[in-house]
Amino acid sequence: MGTLKVKVTTVGNSAGVVLPKEVLAGLNVEKGDSLSLVRTPTGYELTAYDPGFEEEMEAARDIMKRYRNSLRELAK
């Protein structure tokens, strides 16, 4: 597909981006579906929202917060 240009537009009091049909098809989503936007070292990643994945990430965040010092030591 290559690089697509999308424009940030006003949606009520917020801003939004209109996604082309081919992007929606590639994400396997349609109007009204939720998406996940994740910050990565190279930018942002947009995926179809998966509630199970979100629960797993929340559990991982909790573990990382509770064991922050131990994880820091292990990383050395």
Q: What is the pLDDT of residues 10-65, one digit of tens each?
A: 999 999 999 999 999 999 999 999 999 989 999 999 999 887 777 787 888 898 89
Kindly give, in sequence order, each residue whose CB lies less than 8 Å from that of residue 66, ignoring residues fewer than 6 positions away.
Answer: none
- Whether residue 76 has pLDDT greater than 90: no
Q: Which domains does the chain have, with CATH numbers?
A: 19-75 (2.10.260)
Q: Are 64 and 71 in contact (CB under 8 A)?
A: yes
| pTM score of the predicted model | 0.58
